Structure 1
């Protein structure tokens, strides 16, 4: 008989038992209106609420929709797996699973709190992304944590089939889309480049963007929101996702059609101008993007010249998996418009 995991105990206590316990104090820190919308509270429960947990605050993530409940269940399983992994010095940066509560028949998860402010807070400060030094520091922080995490969780090596898997997922989600075949051609080119090489599968965060990285005193102190994680996946996923998301929003505070401060030749023109600029154009941001990707590939024992093929596959993955249809379609169209390769002399020699 299969043992029921602690996270899915058939009779968990109610979320109200913790939120409204005598002496409990809390604050709502995040909410959304997405299809998988959730509300996140930081709560200081009564002392000794968790005999094997923290004496201070805990985080409670409560689903608003059935889709959100599914995401919370996925995150719970991932957090339990992370709790069993040997993360070494990274362990304090990952929330620890404590309990699953009942929220009107849906699961709510309770975890420890990791300190720090989201990297997005600094990212959106005036001129932050217009200057090389703070941007270089962001890339260095994200890349450094990720390399340590991938080394700590590396498993069996295998031939890289990521781009082909992404292509299948894109075709399943977007049958009949007018740009589907063009996107498939780019993913086929990425697959031809990547499938010649092998790398270790690792644990994967699945949504490794700057909004999920917490920073304090110049270092990453927390990595949150593991609902898209995998126990054994392609490490290129996290590597590429950070670079693409970082470039996507560099024009966020620029009026449409106007030049983006600090980035010569970049204007806010349609969706993904920052991604195209970071992957294809010349400038200090492009230099940092390519350096970050190449260092990440080198850390995985892969040729640094695979960076562009990996970026194409990463765009395809967002097109296949993003929970917002418009956002996903925009990535599909962006992928379809990109060249197969950035520069002829940047191809790997395999």
Structure 2
């Protein structure tokens, strides 16, 4: 895809942009979530419907009222990113261009970023079975995130993230039989994290490999900012990448079968890859825990906080995921994990 191109559509509605004479477009993403959206890459005709040089734009169109709320949140975050001093990272985030009308709901138009989603290579045959390939993914994601957090760091605050997550989990899952066990683990995480202070930063909020674009061996784009906040806990993005990377390790393996490249990991129900990455022995768990410790250390925090942060990250997904079944699976996984990592890992932390 093309690098960013500066223009503002003269069109006032999605229809004006998509169906202008000579416009060309392609649907690149759609979903069936409660906040479902459709994303198009559109190239309007030069000189007719754009100000400035002709070029492609990304347009995200809401399918539901809930999706419109998500798009409004993304617009606010994109405007905040415009105001931030990101330095070289500025070219890796979409630039807000315009808001269009879509049957009474807002659609957002942004610049297009060059790159291939990391999810494309993640799902290639044997990619996650190769240590070097996985280490590269973690290094690229970790490097971009450290630079972003450094560029947007504010004043330090005592870390109340786990307590905030516990309250959100309690509100969503009141009466669920797994709630009490999950709350016990979040309380343990809170006791560990609350002792520390960290600079609050901008947070992407859904920092997983599907939202990272890669080009020429670097992160060339980070997209989908609808869950972002101006000032949040930097541990959120660090943990989200690690958890989601582990979650899909067994995606291409049949139930009960061993997962290639990861001795001891079999596909059994939900979340086996996360349990493996956080608790078991192997080259991938070593990489996962190293990435968490390294990222936490870069924030000026004790590296031993990695496990408590992981528990809070699981709780955050349980509290906030759009799909109820997906969220409840994370609640159950959180409730089943030990309060602390295995003894040998604790010593290494």
Query: Smaller-chain TM-score range?
Result: over 0.9
Q: Which runs of 4+ in 1 moved over 2 A?
A: 46-52, 343-348
Per-residue deviation, residues 272-329 of structure 1 (Å, max 9, x unmatched)? 0000000000000100001110110011000111000000000000000000000000
Matched, 1:93 2:114: no
Distance 1:230 1:299 in 2: 20
Matched, 1:125 2:124: yes
Per-residue deviation, residues 224-243 of structure 1 (Å, max 9, x unmatched)? 00000000000000000000
Per-residue deviation, residues 79-132 of structure 1 (Å, max 9, x unmatched)? 010011111010111000000000000000000001111000000000000110
Distance 1:178 1:23 in 2: 57
CA change 1:156–1:50 in 2 (3 A) is farther
What is the CA-CA distance between 1:344 and the residue it aligns to?
4.0
Q: Does the aligned pair in 2 maintain the 1:251–1:274 contact within 8 Å?
A: yes
What is the CA-CA distance between 1:55 and the residue it aligns to?
3.3
Aligned to 1:9: none
- Alignment partner of 1:257: what SS? coil
Matched, 1:319 2:315: no
Distance 2:333 2:50 in 1: 48
What is the CA-CA distance between 1:343 and the residue it aligns to?
3.1
- Alignment partner of 1:141: what SS? helix
Distance 1:153 1:45 in 2: 34
Q: TM-score, length-normalised on structure 2?
A: 0.94
What does 1:11-90 correspond to in 2, within 5 Å?
13-48=12-47, 49-51=49-51, 55-90=54-89
CA change 1:280–1:346 in 2 (3 A) is closer
Q: TM-score, length-normalised on structure 1?
A: 0.94
Matched, 1:252 2:244: no
Aligned to 1:163: 162
Distance 1:203 1:277 in 2: 30
Distance 1:279 1:142 in 2: 18
Q: Does the aligned pair in 2 maintain the 1:162–1:313 contact within 8 Å?
A: yes
What is the alpha-carbon root mean square deviation over aligned residues? 1.4
CA change 1:114–1:108 in 2 (3 A) is same
Matched, 1:282 2:298: no
Distance 2:148 2:45 in 1: 34
Distance 1:45 1:86 in 2: 30
Per-residue deviation, residues 203-241 of structure 1 (Å, max 9, x unmatched)? 000000000000111111000000000000000000000
Distance 2:325 2:342 in 1: 30
- Alignment partner of 2:331: what SS? helix
- Alignment partner of 1:47: what SS? coil
What does 1:185-264 correspond to in 2, within 5 Å?
185-264=184-263
Q: Does the aligned pair in 2 maintain the 1:95–1:224 contact within 8 Å?
A: yes
The number of residue pairs the alignment matches comes to: 337
Per-residue deviation, residues 163-221 of structure 1 (Å, max 9, x unmatched)? 00000000000000001000000000000000000000000000000000001111110
What is the CA-CA distance between 1:22 and the residue it aligns to?
2.0
- Alignment partner of 2:12: what SS? coil
Q: Does the aligned pair in 2 maintain the 1:306–1:347 contact within 8 Å?
A: no
Distance 1:333 1:127 in 2: 29
Distance 1:171 1:249 in 2: 27
Per-residue deviation, residues 46-103 of structure 1 (Å, max 9, x unmatched)? 2254436x63100000000001111000001000100111110101110000000000
CA change 1:27–1:283 in 2 (3 A) is same
Q: Does the aligned pair in 2 maintain the 1:193–1:306 contact within 8 Å?
A: yes
What is the CA-CA distance between 1:20 and the residue it aligns to?
1.2
Distance 1:281 1:38 in 2: 38
Unaligned 5+ segments in structure 1 are 1-11
Distance 1:314 1:14 in 2: 38
